């Protein structure tokens, strides 16, 4: 390694003035390399003249700069820019080369002269001077830094600091506290506690009875009520302060029941089907003497809340699904084959390694379980209780998946965020333990949330127009788990959040308002992380929202009918899937339109979404798992190229729509007598949620919608906002004659060269396995000698 | 993204033809002999075939589209009990009370009809919608299984080339002189073996376009800029005298006269001399193809052959090197010396670099497909799906083919070096590699018509032996010459479309349709083994081309996401991480495999929406202009709008 010391940037050439070999040297001015710090962030240690490895093959592209450890992140600051990267997805909290400490899975130091290697833990000692630092990250990245030119002491110190600070001993040492605390200090009076009360997002947080009330109304669950007996977390430490229970159960009874449940967790209502069947989650009954009686009480209360008084089915998740350790083990194996093992070696056994990791099996198991419950709710009109020992892990996954399959509202962006907020955050999924932010107990660590997102991705992959968001959104959401500033992922339950933030505020003498809690931004406040422009990468151009048009034989028709049909046809796949003979009445299922008929607010073209469960139809979530692998990157290819094309088209549609709006306002003085025949007056769809119309939403059923001029008043008149667009990729504008009318044309617009199957992420510099060479192409041409000679020849002849 | 599920959508209306198809022979019998099983649904032709395929359109839509078009007879209305016959199709036999043992649904009783083109089974009792409609060309083997039962019932197993098996049970006719329907079936399923004509020679549907005109060798070479100062078009094979498996039009270096070509042909297996397939428009690097040199154990040499390769290299000024890609594993190449063949020695060919691409021969591939069929049909072992798939090595072979093509394409594009590609005879693996490399390099071949040209050129005119590899109408199902070479190629193309969803003008349905008609024997396109034979048989006169059908309804086969980048080279990532089993083809008979939501359809909706909005905007603009003009004329009479145009969107 020492022998291949870089020819280009040397210790000297790193110092600015004379840098003949760096192309951009002339303009280079002396700038100090300084970490960009967030409020509350402090530098712990740093080392200069560190080399970040970019290519694994040669040091040619490596970057020189300063490696900094703060109380939040590992930061690498450089003047050099990455080769071949003209696209940047700017993160507001993290620089291009930064990794939050919470995302660091393992810190490995190497001294290659001595042939030593050590995994660093908190407060460990390091007896050799490291020449190299390798960071294995939770998000599958692997970063390598070399200290050939750095001072040995400072190199050692920075490594130790990273190891130490990535394993905080106490939750309050997680950066989120400092961050929220100092934001409070810096905030102006308009903001409460440093955070916009609304948070700039409209996701219901379900920390208030009103959010639950709205949810009850939305699902038409009239026999259910909001219950606030847990105010101050007096009844159960892990439940939220308010939740929903059967209307027939009185607070008094509930309090009494609570003590018999594990964790004093009273059964929680999750969702109600329009036919009245409810989905309920429940922890096990710890008191064996009470078991039967209590079981009956709960069941009969749920039965009473069902309009048809139909039976209740209990589904014991612990018995039927993998446990958290198994899921954790599966991810570890998957990581091994995806990023740790050398690419070519793992190629040969790729499929069987994938299988033996069991990750895909588990994804399928959860999806299948959800489908079975969907069948009970939708097909059998039965209420279902999800039973789990603690009701804080598997239930979260299953409950969410069931709702995603049944309730189109959950497939909108806000609906989805509300869903996660309800079923994970408020229901007390132990994010702190499962993420193992404190490295206290490795046995508690489990990537259940990632597993859930993978399941959602499978649904999205099979039904690309059913979700308002994209796979980029899902990926970014899963990455946010490792940025420890969001209330969403920092705590085990709402109570813990309240206590810790109160304690922290007291200890730091932060004067809090009446609420007595420090407010952390929720992850749903995406402006914390991304610019509005970058957030548009979340928008799925294909999304069919509440109503849309489709084309049949060249004619535009309303979407609704057929959509219904095609999705219900989906349902008919079910009997075969479950088929063991018993489910004979299933054929009649698709004909019921109960979702639409009984629940106007939730009525959407596609009700039910059932995934195909054959193992041949579930695929690896390549964007997430392979995005850092340079060999697996398809340059100018991958699903994003289709996404690009679709985005342009949808953008054109938006622009045209804004033109129409423009005409309608600017020409309102004219009476237009005839609307062109067959042209539908686009009407706003009555959106149940306050979310801005998605691209699909804007498409309205053409023919049978009546004119609704009054809706004009509801339309936001600002064209500028429109011009900003909901699509990340914008169609170029051509300006035809006519005032102010510019009509976009996407038809011939090629996709930009920076698109790849990893977009918007880049494997460059983010996956540096040791001792691994090259890109697939170069390896493929591994008559490399030949290849080089050809190149040379070709160059000579030029 | 769009995964299509073929199989007729379970969900669609009852009436839609279900193609529950398939059923398996007892597995033992399957494995015994099903060597040539290939994937293919003949059906693409019939209405169910439509529903079976993964078309991005719903079957209903497609069907209704079809009805409105003048293409009709091909598509049958499966709602009827009897097949709707094609032109010149006649019913040969019919039997009631036949039981079809469907591996997914169970035993179904119904009526079986055999025509000179198809097998048609219509279920009469439960599941009354069930219809099997299979062109006879798809059948690879029909055989009686076991002896008659005490009730006089006999069962028959049918192995199909399109990854499925069927099993029927029926009563033996009491009159022993009367032939059973299955005996008739065997007669018409294997017309070649029974001295009957293939149905393609009778079928005479007229389409708006004549697909036989799609490919004109001279026009294609002209498109490539040929002839030019280095390459000429030779007439030496005008009457197939030089090489009877080559096309009549050949492109060779100008410096080599026809006389010398003749001498070269003595040195190359089957006379298949190195000729140009493709030339890079800028660098002039070329892809040339040929068969193995007849080196033999003694290391024979041919001055003319060496000169020809030198001339091929010299024709490209950019590089002083020539790459010879021997597609075979080096062991196999060496073994061929025993049979008089072999590979170019580096001594004899100065400046040439020989590379072995390590792709296995057609017997290995056939075996791999046989295993694949066992894994996917009729049911998947859910617990071991991936490892079972791995054990078939199918994707590994796909990978090695794509990898070889990628190396060729990269050498030509990035290395600007000319390449020579050959295997043993130069008509199987060589065709796969040259055509895939050309697909990567030349965007023209990624259009629908361009792809047809590619097939006509690299596969049909250069003598891929379709008749032999597929065994049209031939009952000899164990023939070792059968192999899924072409299927593998189409699979590779599909893999590329997955990695570059916007780079191809055609869609998955197009590829499936080609495969379906590879076996159906409805069109003349894939008949015979060489251009010479096709000419001799007067196929263009006597049969209809598949491209006639396809080009008459391009809409069905086009990919709406297509973006035409004219000079865009595709380098797919050849890794197991990205290769997938083509479930839309191999697993389409499984009723659990239902079509997933078609992305393409959604795209079409959006397109229609845009067109509509554009129209409105333009109309409004015009209107505004008119109003402005007229209102200025009669100034002072402004009408306040009562009903403003409703434009909220």
The pLDDT > 90 percentage for chain B reads 66
Chosen for mutation from B67, B322, B605, B634 (greatest number of chain A CBs closer than 10 Å) is B605
Four-CA torsion A89, A93, A95, A101, nearest 10 degrees: -120
At B124, the pLDDT band (50, 70, 90 cuts) reads: confident
CA–CA separation, A545 and A549 (whole Å): 10
Q: Is A553 annotated as a binding residue?
A: no
Sign (positive or negative) of CA dihedral A661, A666, A668, A673: negative
Catalytic residue among B102, B123, B243, B423: B423
Tell me the C-alpha to C-alpha distance, in Å, between residue B249 and each of B236, B446, B457, B518. Answer: 8, 23, 10, 25
Any residues with CB less than 8 A from the CB of B37 and at least 6 apart, and which?
Answer: B140, B159, B160, B161, B163, B369, B370, B373
Return the higher-pLDDT residue of A403 and A84: A403
Residue that wins the pLDDT comparison between A789 and A237: A237
Query: Taking 90 as the threshold, does the pLDDT of residue A670 lie above it?
Result: no
The residues that bridge with B419 in the sheet, in sequence order, are: B287, B323
Q: Does B415 sit within 8 Å of A794, measured CB to CB?
A: yes
Rounded to whole angstroms, the Cα distance separating A167 from A103 reads 11
To the nearest whole angstrom, how far is the Cα of B511 from the nearest Cα of chain A?
19
A352 to B572: CB separation less than 8 angstroms, yes or no: no
Asked if residue B46 lies in contact with residue B119, where contact means CB atoms within 8 angstroms, the answer is no
Which of the two residues, A765 and A139, has the higher pLDDT score? A139
Which of B502, B628, B631, B633 is the best substitution to test chain A (most A C-beta atoms within 10 A)? B502
The structure tokens listed for B8 are 């007729």
Tell me the per-residue pLDDT of B371-413, one tens digit each, with 9 for 90 and over.
Answer: 999 999 998 999 999 999 999 999 999 999 999 999 999 999 9
Q: What is the DSSP string of A65-130?
A: EEEEEESSEEEEEESS--TT-------SSS-TT-EEGGGEEEEEEEETTTTEEEEE-TT----S--
* Window 618-657 of A, Cβ < 8 Å to B: 619-620, 622, 626, 629, 631-639, 641-642, 644-646, 649-650, 652-653, 656-657
User: Which residues are CB-neighbours of A234 under 8 A, at least 6 positions away?
Assistant: none
Please report the pLDDT score of residue A88 as a whole number. Answer: 64
Which pLDDT does position B253 carry in this prediction? 97
Measured between beta carbons, the chain A residues lying within 8 angstroms of B619 are 676
A325 — pLDDT class (breaks 50, 70, 90): very high
Please, are residues A792 and B319 in contact by the beta-carbon 8 Å criterion?
no
Selecting from B387, B644, B649 the residue whose C-beta is nearest the C-beta of A709 gives: B644
Task: Verify whether the Cβ–Cβ distance B12 to A569 is below 8 Å.
Answer: yes
pLDDT band at A676 (very low <50, low <70, confident <90, very high): very low
Mean pLDDT of A748-761: 82
Backbone angles phi, psi at A129, to 5 degrees: -85, 120
Per-residue HEC secondary structure of A600-656 comes to: HHHCCCCCCCCCCCCHHHCCCCHHHHHCCCHHHCCECCCHHHHHHHHHHHHHHHHHH
pLDDT value at A627 more than 70? yes
Sheet with A73-78, edge to edge strand ranges: A99-100, A73-78, A63-70, A43-52, A142-146, A132-137, A104-111, A116-120
DSSP string computed for B552-612? TTHHHHB-TT----TT-------STTT----HHHHTTTSTT--PPP-HHHHHHHHHHHHHH
Question: Nearest 5 degrees, angle CA B596-CA B597-CA B599?
Answer: 125
Query: How far is the alpha carbon of A518 from chain B, nearest alpha carbon, in Å?
Result: 42
Segment A185-191 shows an average pLDDT of 49
Q: Binding residue per annotation — A323?
A: yes
Give me the residue from A352, A551, A671 closest to B386, CB to CB: A352
In this prediction, residue A227 has a pLDDT band, given cuts at 50, 70 and 90, of: very high
Q: B563 vs A750: CB contact, 8 Å cut-off?
A: yes
β-strand partners of A744: A733
The Cα–Cα gap between A360 and A89 comes to: 29
B643/chain A closest Cα distance in angstroms: 6
Cβ contact A523:A265 at 8 Å: no
* Distances in whole angstroms, Cα of residue B375 to Cα of each of A358, B42, B379, B386, B389: 19, 21, 7, 10, 7
For residue A666, give the H/E element and its range.
helix A639-666
Quote the CA–CA distance of A627 and A514 in Å, as a whole number. Answer: 45
- Determine contact: A580 vs chain B, CB below 8 A: no
Mutate to test the interface with A, among B556, B582, B598, B609 (most CBs of A within 10 A): B609
**What per-residue confidence (pLDDT) applies to A662?**
80
Say if CB A404 and CB A413 are below 8 A apart: no
Average of per-residue pLDDT values in chain A: 77
Contact B341, B296 (CB under 8 A): yes
Pairing of strands B322-326, B106-115: unpaired
Share of chain A above pLDDT 70, in %: 71
* Unique residue bearing structure tokens 């020679």: B201
If DSSP codes are grouped into helix, strand and coil, which group holds residue A243? strand
pLDDT at A367 over 80: yes
> Is the per-residue pLDDT at A183 higher than 80?
no
Helix axes B362-376, B385-392, angle to 10 degrees: 160
Region A464-477: mean pLDDT is 94
Do the beta carbons of residue A82 and residue A95 sit within 8 Å? no
Nearest CA in chain A to B11: A569
Q: Which residues of B fall in the annotated binding site for substrate? A: 336-339, 423-429
Nearest CA in chain B to A352: B387
Range with the poorest average pLDDT among A138-152, A757-771, B106-120: A757-771
Dihedrals φ, ψ of A617, to 5°? -105, 0
Give the best-scoring range by mean pLDDT among A35-49, A509-523, A782-796, B601-615: A35-49
Of B3, B382, B410, nearest to A615 by CB-CB distance is: B382
Q: Flag whether pLDDT at A708 surpasses 80.
A: no
DSSP B296: T
A352–B contact, CB cutoff 8 A: yes
Lookup: tokens for B235: 């007439």
Minimal Cβ distance to B415: which of A551, A700, A791: A791
| Cα–Cα distance measured from residue B443 to residue B611, given in angstroms and rounded to the nearest whole number | 27
Query: How many other C-beta atoms can be found within 10 angstroms of the C-beta atom of residue A110?
Result: 21
Residue of A nearest to B408 (CA): A781
pLDDT of residue B246: 97
Chain B residues in contact with A671 by the CB 8 A cut-off are 639, 641-643
Å from B308 to nearest chain A CA? 21
Q: Is A590 on the interface with B (CB under 8 A)?
A: yes
**C-alpha dihedral sign at B80, B86, B91, B97:** negative
Token pair in block for residue A301: 């209360």
Average pLDDT estimate for A309-336 = 95
CA A475 to each of CA A451, A457, A726, B474, B509: distance values in angstroms, whole numbers, following the listed order:
12, 9, 19, 54, 31
Q: Which residues of A touch B383 (CB under 8 A)?
A: 361
**Known catalytic membership, residue B423:** yes
Most confident of A339-353, A447-461, B619-633: A447-461
Banded model confidence at residue A675, pLDDT cuts 50, 70, 90:
very low
* Sequence-separated (6 or more) residues with CB below 8 Å from residue A233: A239, A241, A494, A495, A498
Calculate the CA B438 to chain-centre distance. 16
Q: Which of A566, A698, A794 sits opposite B11 (nearest CB)?
A: A566
Question: Looking at residue B614, what is its pLDDT?
Answer: 84
- Per-residue pLDDT tens over the stretch A194-217: 444 444 568 999 999 999 999 999
- Is A667 in contact with B620 (Cβ distance < 8 A)? yes
Contact B461, B247 (CB under 8 A): yes
B5–A612 CB contact, under 8 Å? yes
Cα separations in angstroms, A206 against A209, A499, B116: 7, 18, 69
How far apart CA A550 and CA B565 sit, in angstroms, is 28
pTM of structure:
0.84
Give the helix/strand (H/E) hosting A367. Answer: helix A359-374
pLDDT in tens, A528-568: 999 998 999 999 998 876 443 333 333 333 333 333 333 32
End-to-end C-alpha distance for chain B, whole angstroms: 29
What's the rounded Cα separation, in Å, for the pair B578 and B641?
59
In A, minimum Cα distance to B322 occurs at A790
Poorest-pLDDT segment among A264-278, A440-454, B116-130: B116-130
- Report the greatest alpha carbon distance in chain A: 91
Question: Using CB atoms, which residue from B570, B571, B613 is nearest to A656?
Answer: B613
Averaged pLDDT of chain B: 84
Q: What is the 3-state secondary structure (H, E, C) of B188-220?
A: HHCHHHHCCCCHHHCCCCCCCCCHHHCCCHHHH
Contact A793 B613 (CB under 8 A): no
Q: Is the dihedral of CA B318, B323, B327, B329 positive or negative?
A: negative
Please report residues of A whose CB lies closer than 8 A to that of B395.
351
Task: Please state which of the ranges A641-650, B572-581, B638-647 shows the lowest mean pLDDT.
Answer: B638-647
Reading phi first (left if > 0) and then psi (alpha if -120 to 50, else beta), residue A506 is in alpha
Put simply, whether A552 touches B (Cβ < 8 Å) is: yes
A791 in contact with B at a CB cutoff of 8 Å? yes
Q: Which chain B residue's Cα is nearest to A551?
A: B605
Sign, CA dihedral B245-B249-B251-B256, equals: positive
The SS3 call for residue B228 is coil
Determine contact: A788 vs chain B, CB below 8 A.
Answer: no
Q: What is the mean pLDDT of residues A222-236?
A: 94
Q: How far is B66 from chain A, CA to nearest CA, in Å?
A: 10
Q: Are A363 and A451 in contact (CB under 8 A)?
A: yes
pLDDT at B151: 79
Partners of B388 on chain A (C-beta within 8 Å) are none
């Amino acid at each position: 390694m020492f022998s291949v010391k870089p020819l280009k940037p040397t210790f000297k050439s790193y110092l600015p003035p004379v840098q003949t070999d760096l192309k951009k040297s002339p303009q280079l001015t002396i700038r100090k390399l300084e970490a960009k710090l967030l409020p509350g962030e402090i530098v712990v240690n740093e080392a200069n003249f560190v080399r970040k490895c970019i290519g694994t093959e040669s040091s040619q592209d490596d970057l020189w700069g300063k490696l900094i450890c703060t109380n939040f992140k590992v930061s690498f600051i450089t003047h050099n820019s990455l080769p071949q990267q003209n696209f940047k997805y700017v993160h507001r909290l993290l620089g291009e080369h930064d990794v939050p400490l919470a995302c660091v899975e393992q810190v490995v130091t190497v001294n290659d002269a001595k042939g030593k290697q050590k995994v660093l833990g908190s407060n460990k000692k390091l007896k050799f001077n490291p020449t190299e630092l390798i960071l294995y990250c939770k998000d599958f990245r692997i970063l390598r830094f070399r200290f050939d030119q750095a001072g040995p002491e400072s190199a050692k110190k920075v490594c130790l600091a990273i190891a130490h600070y990535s394993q905080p001993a106490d939750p309050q040492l997680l950066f989120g506290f400092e961050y929220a605390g100092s934001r409070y200090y810096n905030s102006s009076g308009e903001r409460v506690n440093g955070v916009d009360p609304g948070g700039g997002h409209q996701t219901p947080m379900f920390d208030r009875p009103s959010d639950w009330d709205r949810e009850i109304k939305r699902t038409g669950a009239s026999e259910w009520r909001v219950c606030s007996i847990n105010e101050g977390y007096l009844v159960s430490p892990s439940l939220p302060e308010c939740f929903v229970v059967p209307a027939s159960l009185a607070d008094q009874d509930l309090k009494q029941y609570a003590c018999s449940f594990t964790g004093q967790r009273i059964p929680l209502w999750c969702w109600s089907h329009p036919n009245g069947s409810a989905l309920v989650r429940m922890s096990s009954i710890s008191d064996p003497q009470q078991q039967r009686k209590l079981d009956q009480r709960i069941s009969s209360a749920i039965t009473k809340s069902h309009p048809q008084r139909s039976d209740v089915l209990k589904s014991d998740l612990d018995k039927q699904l993998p446990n958290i350790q198994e899921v954790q083990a599966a991810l570890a194996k998957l990581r091994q084959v995806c990023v740790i093992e050398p690419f070519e070696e793992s190629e040969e056994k790729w499929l069987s390694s994938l299988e033996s990791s069991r990750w895909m099996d588990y994804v399928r198991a959860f999806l299948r379980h959800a489908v079975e419950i969907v069948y009970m709710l939708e097909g059998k009109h039965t209420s279902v209780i999800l039973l789990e020992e603690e009701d804080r892990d598997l239930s979260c996954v299953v409950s969410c998946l069931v709702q995603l399959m049944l309730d189109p509202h959950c497939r909108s962006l806000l609906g989805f965020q509300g869903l996660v907020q309800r079923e994970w955050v408020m229901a007390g999924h132990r994010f702190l333990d499962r993420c193992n932010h404190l490295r206290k107990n490795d046995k508690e660590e489990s990537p259940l949330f990632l597993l859930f997102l993978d399941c959602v991705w499978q649904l999205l992959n099979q039904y690309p127009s059913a979700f308002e968001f994209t796979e980029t959104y899902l990926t970014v959401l899963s990455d946010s788990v490792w940025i420890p500033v969001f209330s969403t992922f920092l705590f085990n339950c709402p109570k813990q959040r309240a206590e810790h933030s109160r304690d922290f505020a007291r200890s730091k003498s932060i004067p809090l308002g009446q609420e007595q809690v420090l407010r952390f931004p929720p992850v749903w406040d995406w402006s914390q992380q991304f610019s509005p422009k970058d957030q548009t990468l979340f928008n799925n151009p294909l999304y069919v929202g509440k109503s849309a048009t489709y084309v049949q034989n060249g004619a535009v028709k309303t979407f609704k009918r057929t959509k219904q049909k095609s999705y219900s046809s989906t349902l008919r796949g079910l009997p075969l899937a479950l088929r063991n003979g018993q489910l004979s009445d299933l054929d009649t299922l698709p004909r019921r339109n109960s979702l639409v008929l009984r629940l106007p607010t939730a009525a959407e073209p596609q009700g039910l979404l059932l995934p195909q469960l054959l193992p041949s139809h579930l695929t690896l979530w390549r964007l997430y798992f392979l995005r850092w692998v340079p060999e697996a990157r398809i340059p100018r290819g991958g699903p994003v190229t289709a996404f690009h094309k679709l985005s342009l088209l949808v953008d054109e549609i938006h622009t045209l729509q804004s033109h129409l709006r423009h005409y309608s306002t600017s020409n309102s003085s004219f009476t237009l007598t005839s609307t062109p025949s067959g042209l539908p007056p686009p009407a706003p769809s009555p959106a149940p949620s306050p979310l801005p119309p998605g691209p699909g939403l804007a498409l309205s059923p053409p023919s049978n919608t009546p004119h609704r001029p009054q809706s004009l008043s509801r339309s936001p008149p600002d064209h500028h906002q429109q011009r900003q667009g909901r699509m990340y990729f914008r169609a170029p504008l051509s300006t035809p004659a006519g005032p102010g009318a510019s009509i976009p044309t996407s038809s011939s617009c090629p996709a930009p060269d920076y698109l790849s199957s990893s977009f918007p992420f880049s494997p460059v510099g983010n996956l540096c396995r040791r001792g691994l060479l090259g890109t697939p192409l170069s390896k493929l041409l591994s008559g490399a000698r030949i290849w080089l000679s050809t190149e040379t020849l070709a160059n000579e002849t030029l | 993204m769009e995964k299509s599920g073929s199989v007729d959508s379970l969900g669609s209306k009852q009436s839609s033809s279900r193609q529950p198809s398939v059923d398996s022979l007892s597995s033992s019998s399957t494995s015994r002999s099903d060597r040539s099983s290939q994937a293919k649904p003949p059906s693409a032709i019939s209405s169910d075939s439509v529903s079976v395929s993964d078309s991005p359109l719903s079957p209903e839509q497609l069907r209704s589209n079809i009805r409105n078009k003048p293409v009709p007879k091909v598509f049958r209305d499966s709602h009827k009990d009897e097949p709707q016959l094609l032109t010149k199709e006649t019913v040969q036999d019919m039997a009631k009370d036949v039981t079809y043992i469907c591996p997914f649904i169970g035993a179904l009783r119904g009526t079986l009809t055999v025509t000179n083109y198809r097998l048609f089974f219509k279920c009469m009792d439960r599941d009354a919608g069930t219809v099997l409609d299979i062109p006879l060309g798809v059948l690879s083997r029909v055989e009686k299984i076991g002896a008659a039962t005490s009730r006089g019932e006999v069962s028959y197993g049918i192995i199909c080339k399109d990854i499925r098996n069927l099993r029927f049970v029926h009563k033996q006719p009491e009159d022993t002189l009367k032939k059973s329907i299955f005996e008739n079936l065997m007669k018409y399923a294997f017309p070649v073996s029974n001295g009957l004509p293939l149905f393609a020679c009778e079928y005479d549907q007229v389409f708006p376009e004549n697909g036989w005109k799609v490919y004109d060798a001279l026009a294609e070479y002209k498109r490539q800029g040929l002839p030019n100062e280095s390459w000429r078009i030779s007439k030496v094979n005008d009457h197939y005298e030089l090489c009877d498996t080559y096309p009549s039009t050949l492109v060779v270096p100008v410096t080599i006269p026809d006389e010398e070509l003749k001498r070269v042909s003595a040195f190359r297996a089957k006379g298949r001399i190195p000729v140009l397939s493709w030339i890079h428009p800028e660098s002039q690097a070329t892809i040339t193809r040929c068969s193995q040199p007849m080196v033999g154990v003694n290391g024979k040499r041919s001055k003319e052959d060496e000169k020809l390769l030198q001339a091929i290299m010299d024709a490209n000024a950019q590089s002083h090197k020539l790459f010879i890609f021997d597609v075979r594993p080096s062991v196999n190449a060496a073994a061929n010396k025993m049979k008089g063949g072999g590979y170019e020695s580096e001594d004899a060919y100065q400046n040439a670099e020989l590379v072995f691409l390590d792709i296995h021969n057609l017997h290995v591939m056939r075996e791999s497909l046989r295993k694949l069929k066992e894994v996917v049909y009729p049911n998947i072992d859910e617990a071991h799906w991936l490892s079972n798939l791995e054990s078939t090595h199918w994707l590994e072979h796909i990978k090695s083919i794509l990898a070889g093509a990628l190396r060729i394409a990269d050498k030509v594009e990035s290395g600007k070096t000319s390449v020579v590609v050959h295997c043993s005879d130069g008509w199987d693996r060589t065709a796969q590699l040259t055509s895939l490399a050309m697909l990567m390099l030349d965007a023209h071949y990624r259009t629908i018509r361009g792809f047809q040209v590619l097939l006509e050129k690299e596969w049909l005119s250069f003598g891929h032996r379709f008749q032999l590899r597929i065994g049209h109408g031939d009952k000899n199902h164990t023939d070792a010459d059968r192999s899924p070479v072409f299927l593998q190629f189409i699979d590779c193309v599909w893999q590329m479309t997955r990695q570059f969803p916007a780079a191809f003008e055609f869609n998955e349905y197009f590829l499936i349709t080609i495969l379906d008609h590879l076996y159906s024997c409805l069109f003349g396109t894939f008949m015979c083994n060489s251009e010479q034979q096709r000419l001799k048989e007067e196929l263009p006169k006597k049969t209809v081309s598949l491209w006639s059908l396809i080009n008459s309804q391009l809409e069905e086969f086009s990919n709406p996401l297509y973006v035409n980048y004219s000079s865009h080279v595709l380098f797919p990532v050849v890794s197991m991480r990205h290769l997938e089993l083509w479930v839309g083809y191999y697993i389409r008979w499984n009723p659990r495999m239902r079509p997933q939501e078609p992305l393409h359809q959604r795209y079409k909706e959006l397109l229609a929406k845009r067109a509509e909005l554009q129209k409105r905007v333009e109309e409004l603009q015009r209107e505004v202009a008119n109003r402005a003009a007229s209102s200025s004329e009669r100034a002072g009479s402004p009408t306040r709008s009562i009903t403003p145009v409703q434009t909220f969107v």
